[in-house]
Amino acid sequence: MATVELTADTFEKTVTSNGIVLVDFWAEWCGPCKRFGPVFEAASEKHPDVVFGKIDTEAEQQLAAAAQITSIPTLMAFRDSILVFSQPGALPAPALEGIIEKIKELDMEDVRARVSQEQQAGAATPEA
């Protein structure tokens, strides 16, 4: 599967309707982004069970701001609509493969339980 261009209109539906979604936040002027692009594209061909989306931070500034992108490239990974990985910086192919495998191996019941605990703890904390 090739990469897909994500926009503010397609981002949420893509993340919520697919099991694993990797998102590359990039820009045309970014040298490291251009080096990471082919690595990301090659991984998309090796993992047809994963959606590989790209967000052009210049064209989608509000989406990049909402995702709190401060450095590009930034890779985010979602599994079952939950953000499970976020890291700025271009990754070499072996590192990207390792991340994909770890995401596939996640115990999502455990992840959901942790997210629920964090949300409950956050709700119980009084605002300053």
Per the annotation, the verdict on 83 as an active-site residue is: no
- What is the pLDDT at residue 46? 95
CATH at residue 9: 3.40.30.10
* Structural domain count of the chain: 1
- What is the pLDDT at residue 125? 60
Among the options 21, 23, 33, 51, which is catalytic? Answer: 33
Interatomic CA distance for residues 95 and 1, integer angstroms: 20
Global pTM reads 0.90
Each residue's pLDDT expressed in tens, for the chain with a length of 128 residues: 589 999 999 999 999 999 999 999 999 999 999 999 999 999 999 999 999 999 999 999 999 999 999 999 999 999 999 999 999 999 999 999 999 999 999 999 999 999 888 888 877 666 55
Per the annotation, the verdict on 61 as an active-site residue is: no
In 3D, which of 89, 96, 55 has the Cα closest to residue 72?
89
Q: Domain range spanning residue 36?
A: 4-124
The DSSP bridge pattern shows strands 74-79 and 82-88 to be: antiparallel
Q: How many CB atoms lie within 10 A of CB 58?
A: 13
- What is the pLDDT at residue 122? 78
Among the options 30, 51, 64, 77, which is catalytic? Answer: 30
Report which DSSP code applies to 88: E
